[in-house]
Amino acid sequence: MAVSKKLGGKPLKAPEPGARDNDQINLTDEESRLMPVAGGGFEPAYNAQVGVDTATMRVVAVGVTQSPNRREQVEPMLATLQAQAEVLGHVESLIANGGFCREKNLPLCEDAGIEPLIAVTRGFG
């Protein structure tokens, strides 16, 4: 038998629309978003991805987003690479670090005929 306990504290009130006097704004780039940074904390930033041809080391595709989640960036990069396939040729493999590891990304690569070489952990050692 579970015993329920009444939680204390003030009841929550609905948020008021619009800006408040103490809201922070970014005066240099209002489209950037606060993202976590190495060493802790947050900074206004973007999340950029780049596709590089490993044979020539040339940049062949880029993507920039306001989302801090890299795992969600494989699908848009695959779309960019496929859209450029006529010029670039068929992409054989996608090499990515563990920040891109997500179960749904493997079949996305395979459906595109691209071998996914995505690390399963973020460690480097």
Going by pLDDT thresholds of 50, 70 and 90, the confidence category of residue 77 is very high
| pLDDT, position 3 | 61
User: Which candidate, 71, 21, 26, 63, places its Cα nearest to that of 46?
Assistant: 63
| pLDDT, position 37 | 87
Q: Is the pLDDT of residue 108 over 90?
A: yes
Whether the full predicted model's pTM is greater than 0.75, yes or no, is no
| pLDDT, position 9 | 81
C-alpha 100/C-alpha 120 separation (Å) is 9
C-alpha 117/C-alpha 60 separation (Å) is 18
